[in-house]
Amino acid sequence: MERWVEETLHSGFRVRLKADRVLFDSETEHQQLIIFDNGDYGRVMMLDGVVQLATKDEFIYHEMMAHVPLFAHGRAKKVLIIGGGDGGVLRETLKHDNLESVTLCEIDHGVIDLCREHFPGVSAGAFDDPRTRVVIADGTKFVAETDERFDVILVDSTDPIGPGAVLFTRQFYADCRRSLPRDGLLVTQNGLPFLQAAELQQSIGYFREMFADSFAYLASTASYFGGPMSFGWATDDGDLRRLRQDAIERRYADSGAFPTRYWRPDVHVAAFALPNYIRDLMTG
């Protein structure tokens, strides 16, 4: 008998994926998790009815969350990843040899264990890199209590439902702001502007209260159904998102020009060219 798994994120929009083979279907400590194979998207992970990861296109999201802020900053030594238990953002972040340490704070150790078992190619050994530190904790509590400062903070969160909801609050962003130096940079997962306009609008509104430069950039990931994915951008250094393509190319060359499948210097620059309907969300 065929099994189809339905994504239930949007109130007026449903997508079903055929589960050719189910590898895991159960509750972790914090959420409902299913992992299955699909002929078009590869191996898929869904949390609480929402696609989080598909092996055929994961490189798009992970490269764009990691390389856009890190090449824009150019001097980062310490990075904090909130969430990201699959290890994909961690994998891409560690390609930057100038980094001294990357802290990954994940609330659910079960996600890390299951992803290392069923998606080993996504983390690709990143959890074993000597620069990696894994903290199993609520990300909001971690940033509220830490005395550390990070050059770049990447919030690789789920959508603002269930355990991920607290990662979209004013207080959480304020604590991230406190954990950044003056030239630090915060990047967040902010959903699909076409279907989740309020999510991006709210986050950018909070950023504008706390940072001198608040914006967003886009990437199209096939398994996040409903339009391009937005990444929130917040910093006090407005020059970071206005770097010219030749400057990004020099930084990429200096890094060793490691292979990428989606990110490239011209895509980096173009990702900040937003359609008017998205710009209107951020200024309305």
Express each pLDDT in 213-254 by its tens digit: 999 999 999 999 999 999 999 999 999 999 999 999 999 999
Rg over alpha carbons for the chain, rounded to the nearest Å, is 18
Hey, which bits of 11-67 come out as E strands? 13-18, 21-27, 32-38, 42-47, 50-54
pLDDT band at 29 (very low <50, low <70, confident <90, very high): low
With a cut of 90, say whether residue 269 has pLDDT above it. yes
Q: Are 214 and 282 in contact (CB under 8 A)?
A: yes
pLDDT band at 69 (very low <50, low <70, confident <90, very high): very high
Q: What pLDDT does residue 167 have?
A: 81
pLDDT band at 30 (very low <50, low <70, confident <90, very high): low
Residues carrying CATH 3.40.50.150, the chain: 58-283
Q: Which residues are catalytic?
A: 156
C-alpha 247/C-alpha 33 separation (Å) is 42
The one-letter amino acid code at 161 reads I
Mean pLDDT of the chain: 94
Residues carrying CATH 2.30.140.10, the chain: 4-54
Q: What pLDDT does residue 64 have?
A: 98
Look up the CATH architecture of domain 58-283. 3-Layer(aba) Sandwich (3.40)
Q: Which of these CATH numbers, 3.10.150.10, 2.40.50.140, 2.60.120.10, 2.30.140.10, describes 4-54?
A: 2.30.140.10
> Is 145 exposed, middle or buried, given 0-12, 13-18 or 19+ CB atoms closer than 10 A?
exposed
What order of strands is seen across the sheet that includes strand 42-47? 21-27, 32-38, 42-47, 50-54
Q: What pLDDT does residue 1 have?
A: 80
Q: What pLDDT does residue 113 have?
A: 94
With a cut of 70, say whether residue 163 has pLDDT above it. no
pLDDT band at 11 (very low <50, low <70, confident <90, very high): confident
Q: What pLDDT does residue 27 have?
A: 74
C-alpha to C-alpha distances, 284 to 108, 194, 280, nearest whole angstrom: 36, 15, 6
pTM for the whole structure:
0.95
Q: What pLDDT does residue 248 have?
A: 98
